[in-house]
Amino acid sequence: MTSRLPRAVTMLTAAAALCATATTTAHAAQDAERRPPRIVNEWARAWNGTDPQALGALFTTDGTYTDEGLGVAFHGRQEISGWKARADNTIDNVHVTVRATHRDGDRITVKAIYAGHLKGAPKPFAVPMTTLLDLDKNHCLITSDEDRYSLATVLSQSGLPADWTPPTD
């Protein structure tokens, strides 16, 4: 019976090492899943930056950007860059903070906080936003972006009336 004990200890030690390796591998995979995909980081960086062209450059030439809160859509890099420029002219310190992402094939769901200070508003806002990003076949560029957030909450937090609309250019 005692001759089997060292072998049993060796087997248990090997099994524990295998389990630790599997756990480490599983944790590494989970960490990779928790990190936003590169395109999401670039998208957030473009929104948080001051160059409107940086946002447009992330889209295919025929890409579409839809702001569900305002009910507007923009097509192509130039219009999308124009939308970012308009947002920067309307919102001081516009900022997107990515909280979570989920990828399913060519679609990435982004949970984020959309924040800023509407020019002329008494207070800043910070609201939850869900963005659906559809990617091209190479997963390098965005073909479609749909931002979903509550405009009513933005206006309420900002101290503006519910019928406020952004100024037109």
One-letter amino acid for residue 70 of the chain: L
Q: Where are the domains of the chain?
A: 1-34, 37-158
Contacts of 119 (CB under 8 A, 6+ apart): 89, 90, 91, 92
Write down the pTM of the prediction. 0.77
With beta carbons less than 8 A apart as the criterion, state whether 114 and 126 touch.
Answer: yes
What stretches of the chain adopt beta strand conformation (E)?
59-67, 72-75, 91-104, 107-118, 125-135, 142-148
Amino acid 12: pLDDT: 47
| Residue 57 DSSP one-character state | T
Per-residue pLDDT of the chain (169 residues; tens, 9 = 90+): 555 556 555 544 554 555 555 555 444 444 445 567 899 999 999 999 999 999 999 999 999 999 999 999 999 999 999 999 999 999 999 999 999 999 999 999 999 999 999 999 999 999 999 999 999 998 889 999 999 999 999 999 999 999 887 766 5
Q: Does the domain made of 37-158 have the CATH classification 3.10.450.50? A: yes
All residues at 6 or more sequence positions from 40 whose CB lies less than 8 Å from its CB, including other chains:
98, 101, 108, 110, 133
The backbone torsions φ and ψ at residue 149, rounded to the nearest 5 degrees and listed phi first, read -155, 170
- Phi/psi for 120 (5° steps) reads 90, -10
